[in-house]
Amino acid sequence: MNDEYKSDIDSIRKNLKINNRLILSLDVPDKLKAFEVLKKADNKISTIKIGLELIYNEGFEIINLVKKTGYKVLLDAKLMDIPNTISGAIKGISKMDVEMITIHTFGGASMLKNANNILKEICIQKNKKRPLLFGVTVLTSLDDNDLKDFGFNIKFSDIVLRMTKIALNNGIDGIICSPNEVKMLRENFGNNFLIATPGIRLAEDKVEDQKRINTPEKAIADGADFIIVGRSIINSPNVSDTIDLYLKKIKKELLNDKSC
Ligand code: C5P
What residues make up the domain containing 164? 3-259
The answer to whether 113 and 106 have CB atoms below 8 angstroms apart is no
Of 141, 137, 139, nearest to 210 by C-alpha is: 141
With cut-offs at 50, 70 and 90, classify the pLDDT of residue 5: low
Q: How far apart are CA 190 and CA 176, in angstroms?
A: 15
147: CATH: 3.20.20.70
For ligand 1, the distance from its centroid to the CA atom of residue 186, given in whole angstroms, is: 21
What is the count of structural domains for the chain? 1
For residues 253-260, give the mean pLDDT.
73
Q: How far apart are CA 227 and CA 215, in angstroms?
A: 10
Which protein residue's CA is at the shortest distance from atom 8 of ligand 1?
A: 198
**How many helices and strands (H and E) does the chain possess?**
13, 8
Q: How far apart are CA 170 and CA 104, in angstroms?
A: 13
pLDDT at residue 250, rounded to an integer: 98
Q: Who contacts 68 (Cβ-Cβ below 8 Å, separation ≥6)?
A: none
Query: pLDDT digit string (tens) for 6-48?
Result: 679 999 999 999 999 999 999 999 999 999 999 999 999 999 9
Which protein residue's CA is at the shortest distance from atom 20 of ligand 1?
A: 198
Query: pLDDT digit string (tens) for 160-180?
Result: 999 999 999 999 999 999 999
pLDDT at residue 2, rounded to an integer: 42
Query: pLDDT digit string (tens) for 102-112?
Result: 999 999 999 99
For ligand 1, the distance from its centroid to the CA atom of residue 61, given in whole angstroms, is: 22
Query: pLDDT digit string (tens) for 61-112?
Result: 999 999 999 999 999 999 999 999 999 999 999 999 999 999 999 999 999 9
Active site residue 78: yes
Q: What DSSP element (H or E) covers 111?
A: helix 109-125
The residues with which 136 forms a beta bridge, in sequence order, are 104, 176
Q: How far apart are CA 96 and CA 88, in angstroms?
A: 14
Is the pTM higher than 0.75?
yes
Of 57, 46, 40, nearest to 16 by C-alpha is: 46
